[in-house]
Structure 1
Amino acid sequence: MATGLLALLDDIAGIAKVAAASLDDAAGQAARAGGKAVGVVIDDTAVTPRYVTGFSPSREVPIVWKIALGSLRNKLHFLLPGALLLSLFAPWAITPLLMLGGAYLCFEGAEKVAEAIRPHHTEVQASAAPARDPQALEDEKVRSAVKTDFILSAEIMALTLATVAESPFATQVFVLAVVGIGITLFVYGIVALIVKADDAGLALAREPRPASTLLGLRAAPAGAPTGGDRALGPVTQAFGRALVRGMPVLLRGLGILGTAAMIWVGGGIIVHGLESYGLGAIGHTIEHAAEAAGAWLPVLSGAASWLVTAALSGVLGLALGAALIPLAHYVVTPVLRSLKA
């Protein structure tokens, strides 16, 4: 009896170890899949703050929260089931769809580069525009942001699905859900901090007390400020002013980094897709160049190889995106307009 019980416990322990290993493997795959979506994540983080521009500070976080809920609905209600159905019934379509998403990333990135080089300004007569109901305007902005998020979320889920396409079905469900929820919380948490950072900086710039007093780390002085408080007050104000001035720079930097990441990630997707169809010449060329860069800088071989791979993938992505711009404007857009008419 005791022997049978010990054997049963040993079997249970073995099953638990297998389950733990499977969970650890799934978590690792989720982390790798999230890393591959870095270009889309950065672009999403850079784009979303624009949707709260022009609203009162009290509405900024609620608007971000509404967009975040819409993003979760996009990923979990629509895209996750669609990705699983695709994996079950049409796995052959994953690579073409992924390449289509990569081409879209290249196109969008190249269009942003073209806009930066030759901006097109559209003058709008603000006085001629009719007054809008604030709630209706907010709802419209949220709908527009959620629609944009759907495209970005589809790219994230496609990248994730390609990473776990050969994994068991339960692992695919776990990884897709973890990546969808995790990236949404990360992106919109960062966005909420970004949109409130300038308000926090403005408040600090107007505050004569030091930050340690404001945060409750030291008691507020009962009378006139002490020497330490007088010294730290200007530091708090200087930090607030730096925060206000730095946020536009941060947003511009995020936009540039997001555009670059979209181009190199999109180019990399195209290269890997071509390799899966037996067209590996471009991929082999990039790989050999990366190996040569790593051998040339052995101390920084990993970083050098990655930089060369990203740069050459970016060159390919930029060229492809530039070629797609006239096709999108003169063929795809007129066709879509005619279908809507």
Structure 2
Amino acid sequence: MATGLLALLDDVSALVKVSAASLDDVPTQVAKTTGKVSGIVIDDTAVTPKYVVGLDPKRELSIIFQIAKKSLINKAIFLGPAALLLGYFAPAIIPYLLMVGGAFLCFEGYEKVHSMFSKTHKPTAEPTEDMVVITPQELEKERVGSAVRTDFILSAEIMAIAYATVANSPLINQIAVLLSVAIFITIAVYGFVALIVKADDIGLHMAQDKYHPTTQKIGRSIVKSMPSFLTILGYVGTAAMLWVGAEIIAHGLPFLHHPLENLEHALSGIPALAWLAKVVILALGGVLLGAVIAKLVSLVRSLFKGSTEKVAH
């Protein structure tokens, strides 16, 4: 009896040691995963500030907190467990889901590039009696809902990539990494977004006469530079969306993945140039793929619209 109990305790002790050793790898795996999803994180950070434009400045942090809270719930409660279940029951589906998400990112990136360079601008509609007037509270709710929908797609990509990184690890590692990635990335993205959104207020506060001239100068510089910073951030976010989307697809298609690997090996002596060449090629590929998808979407919409009109007649 005593011998059996001691043997059981030895087994429990060994299991605890194995689990502890396994958990020691979690920070490394989280760092590795964060690096792989950096492009999506940049895009998420670049996209979110637009959802508070035109709203009451006093509500900005509250709105960002609402989006961040729902983003964390989606990652930790829905997307993370969904990735684990798919990984257990249908792991072969995950690469294809990733590629579908990558195609969506390319499509979204192309739409942004197209809007940047489009020469045609629709005239501002004149207000009419038929237009619906909404309250600031309704507008805020609509903005939060739109932001959460966009974030859900990007978060799904993040959690899928996170799972793919630890798919061969023990279950306890998978859970720890997915939860850590969900918390870390949500705090990092929305903490930085909050800082961006309130940068004008911080700059104005620093520019007050009661502060040292150097502090005032820094404050004024922050206020002046924010419009340009937000513009650049938007460009970077679009580029990141295109290159990440294309890289996800290329990774799932050997005939695309191998040439990229060969290019990296050929330029391995100059790592910065190798990285830049790969990013440029992927971004351009993302634009081309996004353009093709946009044409297909437009064609399907026109066919659907034509069918609807025939039914109506």
Q: Scaled by the length of structure 2, what TM-score is found?
A: 0.87
Runs ≥4 residues deviating over 6 A: 7-14, 336-339
Identity %: 50
Stretches of structure 2 lacking an aligned partner (at least 5 in a row): 1-6
User: How far has the Cα of 1:303 moved from its partner?
Assistant: 2.1
For each residue in 1:187-206, what CA deviation from the matched residue of structure 2 results, as whole angstroms up to 9, or x when unmatched?
1100111111101112222x
| Aligned-partner SS, 1:91 | coil
Q: Which has the higher contact order (CA 8 A, sep 6+)?
A: 2
Aligned counterparts of 2:27 and 2:199: Cα–Cα separation in 1 = 32
Aligned counterparts of 2:84 and 2:25: Cα–Cα separation in 1 = 19
2:251 corresponding residue in structure 1: 272
Superposed, 1:45-56 pairs within 5 Å as 45-56=45-56
1:40 corresponding residue in structure 2: 40
User: How far has the Cα of 1:92 moved from its partner?
Assistant: 0.8
2:283 corresponding residue in structure 1: 314
1:289 aligns with 2:258: no
2:295 corresponding residue in structure 1: 326
| Aligned-partner SS, 2:267 | helix
Judging changes above 3 Å, is the alpha-carbon distance between structure 1 residues 102 and 311 closer, same or farther for their aligned structure 2 residues?
same
Judging changes above 3 Å, is the alpha-carbon distance between structure 1 residues 170 and 61 closer, same or farther for their aligned structure 2 residues?
same
| Aligned-partner SS, 1:142 | helix
Aligned counterparts of 1:324 and 1:139: Cα–Cα separation in 2 = 31
- Two-structure CA RMSD over aligned residues (Å): 2.8
1:304 corresponding residue in structure 2: 273
Judging changes above 3 Å, is the alpha-carbon distance between structure 1 residues 332 and 104 closer, same or farther for their aligned structure 2 residues?
farther
Aligned counterparts of 1:86 and 1:337: Cα–Cα separation in 2 = 38
2:215 corresponding residue in structure 1: 236
Judging changes above 3 Å, is the alpha-carbon distance between structure 1 residues 64 and 167 closer, same or farther for their aligned structure 2 residues?
same
- Preserved CA contact (<8 Å) 2:47 2:237: no
Aligned counterparts of 1:78 and 1:335: Cα–Cα separation in 2 = 33
- Preserved CA contact (<8 Å) 1:208 1:236: no
Superposed, 1:95-134 pairs within 5 Å as 95-118=95-118, 120-125=120-125, 127-128=127-128, 129-134=131-136
User: How far has the Cα of 1:172 moved from its partner?
Assistant: 1.7
Corresponding pairs, count: 304
Aligned counterparts of 2:282 and 2:291: Cα–Cα separation in 1 = 14
Superposed, 1:16-31 pairs within 5 Å as 17-31=17-31
Stretches of structure 1 lacking an aligned partner (at least 5 in a row): 1-6, 211-232
Aligned counterparts of 1:24 and 1:58: Cα–Cα separation in 2 = 43
Of residues 233, 247, 251 in structure 1, which corresponds to 2:230?
251
Instruction: Give the aligned residue type for 1:284.
Output: H
Aligned counterparts of 1:9 and 1:15: Cα–Cα separation in 2 = 10
1:79 corresponding residue in structure 2: 79
